[in-house]
Amino acid sequence: MRPAGAAATLFAVALAALELESPVAAAETEMEMRAATTRYHFIELSRSLDSGVVFDALYSGEPGLNEAYVGLGYDVSSSDRASVIPILYAVAGREYGERGATLGFLADVDHRKAHLVLFAGHFWPARGEIRGYTFVDSLDLTRKMGRLELGVSAAAFEDDGAIQRVAGPVLKYDDRQGTWSFAARFGDERELRVTRTLALGHTSRPRAPLRAHPPRVD
């Protein structure tokens, strides 16, 4: 199946699952889209119920690597300003026969003057050429200035046993529909990235998890 076809199927299943949820359960639905100078592209649909259950589905692509992730998690926090979500993803890649699971962990702390977002996890392969790896992607720490946030974005992940690191400035702008984010990260690779997050429904919780880049296979 082509990447576009896989993505369409993934989101059709995701939307059907959302329609089956209880109508009395208030929920937040968000969509996130990313593009970068490295030809990386990404689209994600997440659904967070007030019960704490989080559903997440995404498609991630870059030259030579196209993947679909479907995950289920739970927000174990009890604060309106913080979210702590362990989430388990089933993973399938078009290239290299990639199949496996990723256990991720999101921490989102929204203070009056600062905002911290951290997502980390580990991938366990079931088959294919992609080996297991641990990652942090990303760690964003920003200072809030009205609708603007300015700070640092960093990430680290394994690649053939070596640790790859990137970091750089990030600027975020919050509007009525969601958030724009512009980041420039440098280190073992260079990337300029724009991210758009849209809130599509009731908003009472921080956003769903973000996923990391897997290591490349030559």
Task: Tell me, yes or no, whether 77 lies in a domain.
Answer: yes
Task: Tell me, yes or no, whether 172 lies in a domain.
Answer: yes
The tokens 């973000």 sit on which residue?
Answer: 210
18: left (phi over 0), alpha (psi -120 to 50) or beta: alpha
pTM: 0.81
Tokens read off for 128 = 């294919």
Question: Which residues of the chain have a pLDDT value below 50?
Answer: 1-4, 7-8, 19, 21-25, 204-210, 216, 218
Task: Tell me, yes or no, whether 168 lies in a domain.
Answer: yes
**188: Cβ–Cβ under 8 A, 6 or more apart, which residues?**
164, 165, 166
Q: CA 60, CA 93: separation in Å to the nearest integer?
A: 9
Task: Tell me, yes or no, whether 210 lies in a domain.
Answer: no
* Cβ–Cβ < 8 Å for 67, 93: yes
* Cβ–Cβ < 8 Å for 149, 141: no
Task: Tell me, yes or no, whether 160 lies in a domain.
Answer: yes
pLDDT of residue 208: 42
**Listed residue (58, 117, 45, 114) closest to 85, CA to CA:** 117
Residue 118: domain span: 3-199
* Cβ–Cβ < 8 Å for 199, 28: yes
Task: Tell me, yes or no, whether 130 lies in a domain.
Answer: yes
Domain count, the chain: 1
Say which CATH number the domain at 166 has.
2.40.160.40
